[in-house]
Chains A and B, each alone.
Chain A
Amino acid sequence: MSETWLISGSPGCGKTSWILDTFKNHQGSCGYIRLKGFSEIDLEQAVSSKIDFNYLKDQIPELLDLNSSNLALITSKENPLIIIELPQFKVPELYGLNGIDLRVLKELEDLKLKPNKYLHFGRDPELQIKDTLNFKNIESYNLELKKSIWDPASLNTFWFELVNGAYGDVYRAKALMNLPDGRYIFFNWILSQQGSQYLTLNNVAPLNGRPERHSEIVIQGNKIDFDLIKSTIQNCLLNDSVLELHQASLRDSQLQTA
Protein backbone atom coordinates (compact mmCIF):
# COMPACT_ATOMS: atom_id res chain seq x y z
CA MET A 1 0.00 0.00 0.00
CA SER A 2 1.29 3.43 -0.93
CA GLU A 3 2.11 5.90 1.87
CA THR A 4 2.08 9.61 1.04
CA TRP A 5 3.16 12.02 3.75
CA LEU A 6 3.14 15.80 3.70
CA ILE A 7 5.87 17.31 5.92
CA SER A 8 5.94 21.04 6.60
CA GLY A 9 8.08 23.38 8.68
CA SER A 10 9.99 26.65 8.67
CA PRO A 11 13.45 27.05 7.09
CA GLY A 12 16.19 25.12 8.83
CA CYS A 13 13.92 23.14 11.13
CA GLY A 14 15.39 19.86 9.91
CA LYS A 15 12.88 18.72 7.28
CA THR A 16 15.42 17.43 4.77
CA SER A 17 17.52 15.60 7.37
CA TRP A 18 14.40 13.94 8.78
CA ILE A 19 13.26 12.95 5.30
CA LEU A 20 16.67 11.45 4.52
CA ASP A 21 16.62 9.37 7.71
CA THR A 22 13.06 8.24 7.02
CA PHE A 23 13.91 7.13 3.48
CA LYS A 24 17.04 5.33 4.68
CA ASN A 25 14.96 3.36 7.17
CA HIS A 26 12.19 2.56 4.70
CA GLN A 27 12.03 -0.92 3.15
CA GLY A 28 10.62 -0.15 -0.28
CA SER A 29 10.75 2.45 -3.03
CA CYS A 30 10.93 6.14 -2.24
CA GLY A 31 9.62 9.23 -4.03
CA TYR A 32 10.15 12.87 -3.18
CA ILE A 33 8.79 16.23 -4.18
CA ARG A 34 9.34 19.69 -2.70
CA LEU A 35 6.59 22.28 -3.02
CA LYS A 36 7.33 25.99 -3.30
CA GLY A 37 5.30 27.03 -0.27
CA PHE A 38 3.78 30.45 0.15
CA SER A 39 5.36 33.62 1.42
CA GLU A 40 3.75 35.42 4.36
CA ILE A 41 3.96 39.13 5.15
CA ASP A 42 7.68 39.97 5.54
CA LEU A 43 8.48 36.27 5.38
CA GLU A 44 9.73 35.27 1.98
CA GLN A 45 9.99 31.60 1.06
CA ALA A 46 13.04 30.33 -0.73
CA VAL A 47 12.47 29.73 -4.40
CA SER A 48 11.76 26.05 -4.95
CA SER A 49 15.30 24.81 -4.76
CA LYS A 50 16.63 21.68 -6.36
CA ILE A 51 19.36 21.46 -3.72
CA ASP A 52 17.34 19.21 -1.44
CA PHE A 53 16.42 16.73 -4.14
CA ASN A 54 19.98 16.53 -5.49
CA TYR A 55 21.34 16.02 -1.98
CA LEU A 56 18.77 13.29 -1.22
CA LYS A 57 19.32 11.65 -4.62
CA ASP A 58 23.06 11.53 -4.00
CA GLN A 59 22.50 9.78 -0.69
CA ILE A 60 19.71 7.50 -2.01
CA PRO A 61 20.43 6.90 -5.71
CA GLU A 62 17.15 5.00 -6.32
CA LEU A 63 15.06 7.95 -5.07
CA LEU A 64 12.43 9.03 -7.61
CA ASP A 65 11.87 12.68 -8.42
CA LEU A 66 8.13 13.25 -8.50
CA ASN A 67 8.67 16.61 -10.16
CA SER A 68 9.53 14.61 -13.25
CA SER A 69 6.15 12.82 -13.39
CA ASN A 70 7.33 9.56 -11.90
CA LEU A 71 4.13 9.15 -9.92
CA ALA A 72 2.83 6.19 -11.95
CA LEU A 73 6.25 4.55 -11.76
CA ILE A 74 6.52 4.71 -7.98
CA THR A 75 2.95 3.64 -7.24
CA SER A 76 3.50 0.53 -9.34
CA LYS A 77 6.44 -0.48 -7.13
CA GLU A 78 6.38 -2.43 -3.90
CA ASN A 79 5.72 -0.62 -0.62
CA PRO A 80 6.23 2.92 -1.94
CA LEU A 81 6.74 5.89 0.36
CA ILE A 82 6.16 9.36 -1.06
CA ILE A 83 7.24 12.35 0.98
CA ILE A 84 6.11 15.85 0.05
CA GLU A 85 8.25 18.60 1.60
CA LEU A 86 6.50 21.90 2.20
CA PRO A 87 8.29 25.00 3.49
CA GLN A 88 5.79 26.74 5.77
CA PHE A 89 6.36 29.34 8.47
CA LYS A 90 3.02 29.33 10.26
CA VAL A 91 1.78 26.43 12.37
CA PRO A 92 -1.41 24.91 10.87
CA GLU A 93 -4.53 25.67 12.89
CA LEU A 94 -5.89 22.12 12.67
CA TYR A 95 -4.16 18.81 13.25
CA GLY A 96 -3.84 16.09 10.63
CA LEU A 97 -5.02 16.30 7.05
CA ASN A 98 -7.57 18.99 7.98
CA GLY A 99 -4.69 21.38 8.66
CA ILE A 100 -3.45 21.44 5.05
CA ASP A 101 -3.62 24.92 3.53
CA LEU A 102 -6.28 25.10 0.80
CA ARG A 103 -3.73 26.47 -1.67
CA VAL A 104 -1.53 23.46 -1.01
CA LEU A 105 -4.46 21.10 -1.42
CA LYS A 106 -5.09 22.58 -4.88
CA GLU A 107 -1.45 22.13 -5.79
CA LEU A 108 -1.51 18.53 -4.59
CA GLU A 109 -4.63 17.84 -6.64
CA ASP A 110 -2.88 19.15 -9.75
CA LEU A 111 0.04 16.83 -9.02
CA LYS A 112 -2.39 13.94 -8.41
CA LEU A 113 -0.96 13.49 -4.93
CA LYS A 114 -3.21 12.61 -2.01
CA PRO A 115 -1.45 12.57 1.36
CA ASN A 116 -2.64 10.15 4.02
CA LYS A 117 -0.56 11.81 6.74
CA TYR A 118 0.33 15.44 7.46
CA LEU A 119 2.92 16.48 10.05
CA HIS A 120 4.31 19.91 10.94
CA PHE A 121 7.72 20.42 12.56
CA GLY A 122 7.57 21.70 16.11
CA ARG A 123 3.90 20.86 16.53
CA ASP A 124 3.56 17.14 15.98
CA PRO A 125 5.52 15.09 18.52
CA GLU A 126 7.02 12.88 15.75
CA LEU A 127 8.82 15.95 14.40
CA GLN A 128 10.84 17.61 17.14
CA ILE A 129 12.15 20.98 16.06
CA LYS A 130 15.93 21.30 16.27
CA ASP A 131 16.24 25.06 16.57
CA THR A 132 14.44 27.91 18.22
CA LEU A 133 14.56 30.52 15.48
CA ASN A 134 11.50 32.69 15.48
CA PHE A 135 11.32 34.26 12.06
CA LYS A 136 9.80 37.74 12.09
CA ASN A 137 11.28 39.00 8.88
CA ILE A 138 13.00 37.00 6.20
CA GLU A 139 14.20 37.70 2.68
CA SER A 140 15.23 34.98 0.32
CA TYR A 141 17.74 34.78 -2.46
CA ASN A 142 18.92 32.05 -4.73
CA LEU A 143 21.57 31.94 -7.42
CA GLU A 144 21.88 29.20 -10.01
CA LEU A 145 25.51 28.18 -10.35
CA LYS A 146 25.26 25.41 -12.92
CA LYS A 147 28.61 24.89 -14.67
CA SER A 148 30.26 27.24 -12.18
CA ILE A 149 33.39 25.98 -10.48
CA TRP A 150 34.81 27.62 -7.38
CA ASP A 151 38.35 28.46 -6.48
CA PRO A 152 38.47 26.36 -3.26
CA ALA A 153 40.29 28.96 -1.14
CA SER A 154 37.91 31.69 -2.29
CA LEU A 155 34.92 29.50 -1.47
CA ASN A 156 36.32 29.03 2.03
CA THR A 157 36.66 32.80 2.48
CA PHE A 158 33.25 33.59 0.98
CA TRP A 159 31.40 31.05 3.13
CA PHE A 160 33.13 32.31 6.28
CA GLU A 161 32.12 35.86 5.43
CA LEU A 162 28.57 34.86 4.51
CA VAL A 163 27.76 33.00 7.71
CA ASN A 164 29.50 35.57 9.88
CA GLY A 165 27.39 38.47 8.66
CA ALA A 166 29.58 40.24 6.11
CA TYR A 167 26.67 40.55 3.69
CA GLY A 168 23.82 41.05 6.18
CA ASP A 169 22.02 38.96 8.79
CA VAL A 170 21.94 35.50 7.26
CA TYR A 171 19.68 33.03 9.09
CA ARG A 172 19.98 30.17 6.69
CA ALA A 173 22.24 29.22 3.81
CA LYS A 174 22.61 26.06 1.83
CA ALA A 175 24.32 25.26 -1.39
CA LEU A 176 25.65 22.66 -3.77
CA MET A 177 29.05 23.69 -5.08
CA ASN A 178 31.44 22.32 -7.70
CA LEU A 179 35.19 22.19 -7.07
CA PRO A 180 37.83 21.88 -9.80
CA ASP A 181 38.88 18.40 -8.65
CA GLY A 182 35.37 17.10 -9.45
CA ARG A 183 34.05 17.18 -5.91
CA TYR A 184 30.44 18.15 -5.31
CA ILE A 185 29.97 19.68 -1.86
CA PHE A 186 26.75 20.21 0.06
CA PHE A 187 26.95 23.24 2.38
CA ASN A 188 24.35 23.72 5.07
CA TRP A 189 24.22 26.40 7.75
CA ILE A 190 21.62 27.82 10.12
CA LEU A 191 22.10 30.59 12.64
CA SER A 192 20.95 28.62 15.65
CA GLN A 193 23.25 25.66 15.07
CA GLN A 194 26.97 25.69 15.66
CA GLY A 195 29.16 25.55 12.60
CA SER A 196 28.43 24.66 9.00
CA GLN A 197 27.74 21.21 7.68
CA TYR A 198 30.00 20.32 4.76
CA LEU A 199 29.35 17.06 3.03
CA THR A 200 31.26 15.78 0.01
CA LEU A 201 28.65 13.99 -2.08
CA ASN A 202 29.21 10.70 -3.87
CA ASN A 203 28.85 12.27 -7.31
CA VAL A 204 32.33 13.07 -8.71
CA ALA A 205 32.71 14.93 -12.01
CA PRO A 206 35.40 14.03 -14.56
CA LEU A 207 38.41 16.33 -14.82
CA ASN A 208 37.49 17.80 -18.16
CA GLY A 209 35.50 20.99 -18.06
CA ARG A 210 32.31 21.94 -16.32
CA PRO A 211 29.79 19.41 -14.96
CA GLU A 212 26.14 19.60 -15.98
CA ARG A 213 24.84 18.68 -12.52
CA HIS A 214 22.78 21.07 -10.44
CA SER A 215 24.60 23.79 -8.52
CA GLU A 216 22.94 26.57 -6.56
CA ILE A 217 23.10 28.66 -3.42
CA VAL A 218 20.05 29.62 -1.35
CA ILE A 219 20.32 32.33 1.30
CA GLN A 220 17.63 33.52 3.70
CA GLY A 221 17.93 36.34 6.18
CA ASN A 222 17.41 40.01 6.77
CA LYS A 223 18.96 43.17 5.28
CA ILE A 224 21.13 41.10 2.98
CA ASP A 225 23.23 42.79 0.30
CA PHE A 226 22.49 40.40 -2.55
CA ASP A 227 24.32 42.51 -5.15
CA LEU A 228 27.49 42.31 -3.07
CA ILE A 229 27.03 38.56 -2.66
CA LYS A 230 26.63 38.15 -6.40
CA SER A 231 29.70 40.21 -7.26
CA THR A 232 31.76 38.41 -4.62
CA ILE A 233 30.70 35.02 -5.99
CA GLN A 234 31.72 36.14 -9.48
CA ASN A 235 35.19 36.89 -8.10
CA CYS A 236 35.40 33.38 -6.63
CA LEU A 237 34.55 31.42 -9.80
CA LEU A 238 37.24 30.02 -12.07
CA ASN A 239 37.43 31.06 -15.70
CA ASP A 240 38.07 28.46 -18.41
CA SER A 241 41.83 28.91 -18.62
CA VAL A 242 42.40 28.75 -14.85
CA LEU A 243 40.08 25.75 -14.61
CA GLU A 244 41.99 23.94 -17.34
CA LEU A 245 45.24 24.69 -15.52
CA HIS A 246 43.85 23.12 -12.33
CA GLN A 247 42.38 20.11 -14.08
CA ALA A 248 45.45 19.46 -16.28
CA SER A 249 47.62 19.37 -13.17
CA LEU A 250 45.18 16.99 -11.47
CA ARG A 251 45.02 14.74 -14.57
CA ASP A 252 48.83 14.59 -14.61
CA SER A 253 49.04 13.62 -10.96
CA GLN A 254 46.37 10.94 -11.51
CA LEU A 255 48.42 9.51 -14.40
CA GLN A 256 51.55 9.45 -12.25
CA THR A 257 49.83 7.58 -9.44
CA ALA A 258 48.09 5.14 -11.81
Chain B
Amino acid sequence: MKQAVISCLHANLPAVEAVLKDIELQGITNITCLGDLVGYGPQPNEVIELIRDKRISTCQGCWDEDVVDGLDACDCSYPSQLAEKRGHIAHQWTTDQLTKENKDFLAKLPYSIRKDKCLFVHGSPNSQHEYLLPDMDAFAALERVETARAETLFCGHTHQPYIRELANGSIAVKVKNADSKDIQEKEMDLPMRRIVNAGSVGEPRHGGTKATYVVYDENTNEVKIREVEYDVELTCKAIIKAGLPQIFAWRLRNGFEFAEQAEDASHVCER
Protein backbone atom coordinates (compact mmCIF):
# COMPACT_ATOMS: atom_id res chain seq x y z
CA MET B 1 0.00 0.00 0.00
CA LYS B 2 1.26 3.45 -0.90
CA GLN B 3 1.02 6.55 1.21
CA ALA B 4 1.85 10.18 0.49
CA VAL B 5 3.72 12.49 2.86
CA ILE B 6 3.34 16.23 2.44
CA SER B 7 4.96 19.05 4.42
CA CYS B 8 5.37 22.82 4.72
CA LEU B 9 2.22 23.90 2.91
CA HIS B 10 2.67 27.52 3.98
CA ALA B 11 -0.78 28.81 3.10
CA ASN B 12 -0.18 28.29 -0.62
CA LEU B 13 -3.56 27.02 -1.81
CA PRO B 14 -2.80 26.50 -5.53
CA ALA B 15 0.25 24.39 -4.60
CA VAL B 16 -1.69 22.29 -2.07
CA GLU B 17 -4.54 21.71 -4.53
CA ALA B 18 -2.11 20.64 -7.26
CA VAL B 19 -0.31 18.20 -4.95
CA LEU B 20 -3.55 16.67 -3.64
CA LYS B 21 -4.71 16.24 -7.24
CA ASP B 22 -1.42 14.49 -8.12
CA ILE B 23 -1.85 12.17 -5.13
CA GLU B 24 -5.44 11.42 -6.13
CA LEU B 25 -4.40 10.61 -9.69
CA GLN B 26 -2.10 7.90 -8.30
CA GLY B 27 -4.97 6.39 -6.37
CA ILE B 28 -3.36 7.14 -3.01
CA THR B 29 -5.78 7.81 -0.16
CA ASN B 30 -3.44 7.55 2.81
CA ILE B 31 -1.84 10.97 3.33
CA THR B 32 0.20 12.31 6.25
CA CYS B 33 1.02 16.00 6.61
CA LEU B 34 4.09 17.16 8.54
CA GLY B 35 2.77 20.59 9.45
CA ASP B 36 3.48 24.24 8.73
CA LEU B 37 0.07 24.72 7.18
CA VAL B 38 0.47 28.48 7.56
CA GLY B 39 3.13 31.19 7.36
CA TYR B 40 4.53 33.25 4.43
CA GLY B 41 1.58 32.41 2.16
CA PRO B 42 -1.68 34.26 1.52
CA GLN B 43 -4.38 31.59 2.12
CA PRO B 44 -3.97 30.22 5.68
CA ASN B 45 -7.67 29.58 6.39
CA GLU B 46 -8.30 28.01 3.00
CA VAL B 47 -5.36 25.60 3.38
CA ILE B 48 -6.31 24.57 6.92
CA GLU B 49 -9.93 24.01 5.87
CA LEU B 50 -8.85 21.88 2.92
CA ILE B 51 -6.70 19.68 5.17
CA ARG B 52 -9.53 19.43 7.69
CA ASP B 53 -12.12 18.60 5.02
CA LYS B 54 -9.91 15.84 3.62
CA ARG B 55 -9.26 14.53 7.16
CA ILE B 56 -5.52 14.36 6.50
CA SER B 57 -3.62 13.31 9.61
CA THR B 58 -1.28 16.18 10.44
CA CYS B 59 1.39 16.97 12.98
CA GLN B 60 2.20 20.47 14.19
CA GLY B 61 4.85 22.55 12.46
CA CYS B 62 6.89 25.40 13.90
CA TRP B 63 4.68 28.06 12.29
CA ASP B 64 1.52 26.31 13.50
CA GLU B 65 2.91 26.27 17.03
CA ASP B 66 4.02 29.91 16.97
CA VAL B 67 0.74 31.22 15.60
CA VAL B 68 -1.17 29.34 18.28
CA ASP B 69 1.12 30.49 21.06
CA GLY B 70 0.33 34.06 20.11
CA LEU B 71 3.98 34.99 19.96
CA ASP B 72 6.62 34.71 17.42
CA ALA B 73 9.31 32.11 17.48
CA CYS B 74 12.05 33.29 19.77
CA ASP B 75 14.87 35.25 18.11
CA CYS B 76 17.06 32.17 17.87
CA SER B 77 14.71 30.68 15.28
CA TYR B 78 15.57 33.45 12.86
CA PRO B 79 18.88 33.38 11.02
CA SER B 80 19.07 37.12 10.62
CA GLN B 81 17.58 40.38 11.81
CA LEU B 82 16.02 40.86 8.36
CA ALA B 83 14.41 37.41 8.43
CA GLU B 84 13.09 38.13 11.90
CA LYS B 85 11.47 41.41 10.86
CA ARG B 86 9.87 39.81 7.81
CA GLY B 87 8.81 36.81 9.90
CA HIS B 88 7.10 39.12 12.39
CA ILE B 89 5.08 40.76 9.61
CA ALA B 90 3.98 37.38 8.24
CA HIS B 91 3.23 36.11 11.73
CA GLN B 92 1.09 39.10 12.62
CA TRP B 93 -0.75 38.97 9.30
CA THR B 94 -1.45 35.25 9.67
CA THR B 95 -2.61 35.65 13.26
CA ASP B 96 -5.03 38.39 12.19
CA GLN B 97 -6.44 36.29 9.36
CA LEU B 98 -6.96 32.97 11.11
CA THR B 99 -10.42 32.10 12.43
CA LYS B 100 -10.74 30.90 16.01
CA GLU B 101 -11.82 27.49 14.77
CA ASN B 102 -8.70 27.13 12.64
CA LYS B 103 -6.42 28.33 15.44
CA ASP B 104 -7.99 25.71 17.71
CA PHE B 105 -7.33 23.09 15.03
CA LEU B 106 -3.65 24.04 14.87
CA ALA B 107 -3.41 24.05 18.67
CA LYS B 108 -4.62 20.47 18.92
CA LEU B 109 -2.23 19.04 16.36
CA PRO B 110 0.18 16.41 17.76
CA TYR B 111 3.96 16.89 17.71
CA SER B 112 4.45 13.55 16.01
CA ILE B 113 2.53 10.71 14.41
CA ARG B 114 3.65 7.09 14.59
CA LYS B 115 2.54 4.51 12.06
CA ASP B 116 4.17 1.10 12.55
CA LYS B 117 7.92 1.57 12.05
CA CYS B 118 7.58 5.09 10.70
CA LEU B 119 7.66 8.30 12.69
CA PHE B 120 6.32 11.52 11.21
CA VAL B 121 7.52 14.86 12.60
CA HIS B 122 7.88 18.42 11.33
CA GLY B 123 11.50 19.26 12.25
CA SER B 124 12.98 16.42 14.27
CA PRO B 125 11.83 14.15 17.09
CA ASN B 126 13.34 16.78 19.45
CA SER B 127 11.59 19.89 18.20
CA GLN B 128 9.53 21.41 15.44
CA HIS B 129 12.32 23.98 15.10
CA GLU B 130 15.27 21.65 14.58
CA TYR B 131 16.56 21.24 11.02
CA LEU B 132 17.65 17.78 9.94
CA LEU B 133 19.80 18.84 7.02
CA PRO B 134 20.84 16.31 4.38
CA ASP B 135 24.51 16.73 5.21
CA MET B 136 24.23 16.72 9.00
CA ASP B 137 26.67 14.59 10.96
CA ALA B 138 25.83 10.91 10.34
CA PHE B 139 26.09 10.01 14.02
CA ALA B 140 23.68 12.79 15.01
CA ALA B 141 21.32 11.78 12.22
CA LEU B 142 21.37 8.14 13.33
CA GLU B 143 20.85 9.20 16.93
CA ARG B 144 17.68 11.12 15.98
CA VAL B 145 16.17 8.09 14.24
CA GLU B 146 17.32 5.48 16.74
CA THR B 147 16.18 7.30 19.88
CA ALA B 148 12.81 7.91 18.22
CA ARG B 149 12.53 4.13 17.82
CA ALA B 150 11.80 4.44 14.13
CA GLU B 151 13.08 2.67 11.06
CA THR B 152 12.11 5.54 8.85
CA LEU B 153 11.81 9.08 10.08
CA PHE B 154 9.75 11.40 7.90
CA CYS B 155 10.43 15.11 8.38
CA GLY B 156 10.12 18.46 6.64
CA HIS B 157 11.09 21.97 7.82
CA THR B 158 14.18 22.39 5.59
CA HIS B 159 12.05 22.70 2.43
CA GLN B 160 14.65 20.59 0.64
CA PRO B 161 13.51 17.03 -0.12
CA TYR B 162 15.97 14.19 0.36
CA ILE B 163 16.23 10.52 1.24
CA ARG B 164 19.15 9.59 3.46
CA GLU B 165 19.97 5.99 4.22
CA LEU B 166 22.04 5.32 7.31
CA ALA B 167 23.48 1.88 6.72
CA ASN B 168 26.09 -0.16 8.65
CA GLY B 169 25.48 1.72 11.88
CA SER B 170 26.77 0.27 15.12
CA ILE B 171 26.98 1.30 18.75
CA ALA B 172 30.05 0.33 20.81
CA VAL B 173 29.75 0.39 24.62
CA LYS B 174 32.48 -0.09 27.25
CA VAL B 175 31.55 -0.73 30.89
CA LYS B 176 33.96 -1.03 33.83
CA ASN B 177 32.54 -2.39 37.08
CA ALA B 178 33.65 -0.51 40.21
CA ASP B 179 34.90 -3.65 41.95
CA SER B 180 36.62 -5.15 38.96
CA LYS B 181 39.52 -4.36 36.65
CA ASP B 182 37.74 -5.96 33.77
CA ILE B 183 36.20 -3.83 31.12
CA GLN B 184 33.24 -5.24 29.32
CA GLU B 185 32.84 -4.29 25.72
CA LYS B 186 29.83 -4.73 23.55
CA GLU B 187 29.12 -3.72 20.01
CA MET B 188 25.64 -3.81 18.51
CA ASP B 189 25.02 -3.59 14.81
CA LEU B 190 22.05 -1.47 13.85
CA PRO B 191 19.75 -2.22 10.97
CA MET B 192 19.55 0.37 8.23
CA ARG B 193 17.72 3.52 9.25
CA ARG B 194 16.38 6.19 6.98
CA ILE B 195 15.51 9.88 7.09
CA VAL B 196 13.07 11.06 4.46
CA ASN B 197 12.49 14.77 4.02
CA ALA B 198 9.31 15.56 2.11
CA GLY B 199 10.49 19.01 1.01
CA SER B 200 7.81 21.66 0.76
CA VAL B 201 4.50 21.95 -1.00
CA GLY B 202 4.03 25.67 -0.50
CA GLU B 203 7.54 27.13 -0.44
CA PRO B 204 10.02 24.89 -2.23
CA ARG B 205 13.73 25.59 -1.82
CA HIS B 206 15.25 22.91 -3.99
CA GLY B 207 16.36 25.12 -6.84
CA GLY B 208 13.04 25.03 -8.70
CA THR B 209 9.48 26.24 -8.34
CA LYS B 210 7.72 22.88 -8.30
CA ALA B 211 5.99 21.69 -5.13
CA THR B 212 7.50 18.53 -3.67
CA TYR B 213 6.21 15.63 -1.59
CA VAL B 214 7.07 11.95 -1.20
CA VAL B 215 5.33 8.66 -1.85
CA TYR B 216 6.17 5.73 0.41
CA ASP B 217 5.37 2.18 -0.66
CA GLU B 218 4.94 0.08 2.47
CA ASN B 219 5.22 -3.18 0.52
CA THR B 220 8.49 -2.48 -1.26
CA ASN B 221 9.80 0.02 1.32
CA GLU B 222 10.54 2.32 -1.61
CA VAL B 223 10.36 6.10 -1.27
CA LYS B 224 10.00 8.45 -4.23
CA ILE B 225 10.24 12.23 -4.29
CA ARG B 226 7.65 13.79 -6.56
CA GLU B 227 7.64 17.28 -8.05
CA VAL B 228 4.39 18.92 -9.04
CA GLU B 229 3.87 22.03 -11.16
CA TYR B 230 1.32 24.55 -10.03
CA ASP B 231 0.31 28.10 -10.87
CA VAL B 232 3.07 29.95 -9.01
CA GLU B 233 2.00 33.34 -10.36
CA LEU B 234 -1.45 32.93 -8.86
CA THR B 235 0.08 32.59 -5.40
CA CYS B 236 2.54 35.43 -6.02
CA LYS B 237 -0.29 37.78 -6.98
CA ALA B 238 -2.22 36.75 -3.87
CA ILE B 239 0.85 37.47 -1.69
CA ILE B 240 1.13 40.99 -3.10
CA LYS B 241 -2.63 41.56 -2.85
CA ALA B 242 -2.61 40.43 0.79
CA GLY B 243 0.05 43.02 1.61
CA LEU B 244 2.61 40.44 2.71
CA PRO B 245 6.29 41.28 2.05
CA GLN B 246 6.72 41.11 -1.72
CA ILE B 247 10.05 39.37 -1.26
CA PHE B 248 8.04 36.22 -0.39
CA ALA B 249 6.55 36.30 -3.91
CA TRP B 250 9.98 36.88 -5.45
CA ARG B 251 11.44 33.93 -3.54
CA LEU B 252 8.58 31.67 -4.61
CA ARG B 253 8.71 32.79 -8.25
CA ASN B 254 12.43 32.05 -8.50
CA GLY B 255 12.58 28.90 -6.40
CA PHE B 256 16.08 29.72 -5.25
CA GLU B 257 17.92 27.06 -3.32
CA PHE B 258 19.03 29.89 -1.08
CA ALA B 259 17.05 29.98 2.12
CA GLU B 260 17.15 31.84 5.35
CA GLN B 261 18.28 29.19 7.73
CA ALA B 262 19.52 29.21 11.27
CA GLU B 263 23.31 29.35 11.55
CA ASP B 264 23.26 26.42 13.93
CA ALA B 265 20.74 24.14 12.25
CA SER B 266 20.58 21.74 15.16
CA HIS B 267 19.82 24.46 17.68
CA VAL B 268 16.69 23.70 19.67
CA CYS B 269 14.83 26.63 21.14
CA GLU B 270 14.26 26.21 24.87
CA ARG B 271 11.95 29.11 25.50
Contacts and interface: CB of A to CB of B under 8 A. Distances in A.
Interface in B165-203: none
B82 interface: yes
B256 A151 contact: no
Contact of B82 (A164, A165, A236, A242): A236
Nearest to B261: A153
Nearest to B250: A166
Contacts, number: 40
A160 interface: yes
Interface string A213-252: 0000000000000001000100110100010000000000
Contacts of B263: 153
A154 B254 CA distance: 19
A238 B81 contact: yes
B28 to A, nearest CB: 37
Nearest to A239: B81
A154 B82 contact: yes
Contacts of B80: 151, 153-154, 156-157, 236
B246 A228 contact: yes
Interface residues of B, number: 15
Number of chain A interface residues as a range: 10 to 19
A153 B247 contact: no
A236 B246 contact: no
Contact of A153 (B81, B246, B250): B81
A173 B258 CA distance: 20
26 contacts: A151-B81, A151-B82, A153-B79, A153-B80, A153-B263, A154-B81, A154-B83, A157-B80, A157-B82, A157-B83, A157-B260, A158-B82, A160-B258, A161-B247, A164-B254, A165-B250, A165-B254, A166-B247, A166-B250, A228-B246, A232-B82, A235-B81, A235-B85, A236-B80, A236-B81, A242-B81
Interface of B: 79-83, 85-86, 246-247, 250, 254, 256, 258, 260, 263
Given A154-B82, A158-B82, 14 more contacts: A151-B82, A153-B79, A153-B80, A153-B263, A156-B80, A157-B260, A160-B258, A161-B247, A165-B250, A166-B250, A228-B246, A235-B81, A235-B82, A236-B80
Interface of A: 151, 153-154, 156-158, 160-161, 164-166, 228, 232, 235-236, 238, 242
